[in-house]
Amino acid sequence: MKTDNKLISAGLLTAIASSLCCITPVLAIVAGSSGVASTFSWLEPFRPYFIGMTVLVLGFAWYQKLKPTNQIDCNCETTQKPNFMQTKSFLGIITVMSVLLLSFPSYAHIFFPKTESRAIIILTSEIQKAEFTIKGMTCSGCEHHVKTEINKLKGIVEVVVSYEKGNAIVKFDSKQTNIKEIEKAINSTGYKSLKSKIIS
């Protein structure tokens, strides 16, 4: 029974570890401390291994729970009820939680507030477009976090962030904001703006 509990704990911990890099940005925004968002981004390369370990550990725990037991026919009465943490119901709850954690990157965006750009454009000749190379983004949650912080600035017209390309394309009114302010907003998330260049 103790082995079952260890398996269940290990399965849950590996599921948490596999999604920690994507959960942290959401927690950072909720807590109002966006600078810690990239703290666990170093875990991203290990994500496939954590997912594999979670599946193996929980699979083995289910095998242990469902395998037929050799019962010796005796007249002794067993009135002891199993602890809830040793039941199939508890293992089922942990399995559902693990699946939700493993799939978190695919629905993380729903937890980020909708931010609209607040630019009041007077002259279209003042509009500039810049590309920022960003280090540390690992999932769509990171994208939304960066986008949210940039959109807080005045003069932002459009923001497109891609964790796959490791960049952000920002269209802004140069009379209301500038590249340095945008870089500061990116760096405030905990991710690092490595370089920037004007596109048009």
Give me the tens of pLDDT residue by residue for the chain, a chain 200 residues long.
556 677 777 777 777 766 666 666 655 555 555 555 555 666 666 777 778 888 888 888 888 888 876 655 555 555 566 677 777 888 788 888 888 777 776 776 676 666 655 555 555 677 899 999 999 888 777 888 889 889 999 999 999 999 899 999 999 998 999 999 999 999 888 888 999 998 86
Q: Residue 182: which residues within 8 A CB-CB, separation 6 or more?
A: 130, 132, 150, 153, 156, 170, 172, 193, 196
Class of domain 112-198: alpha beta
pTM, entire model: 0.60
Point out which residues pair with 167 in neighbouring strands. 133, 162
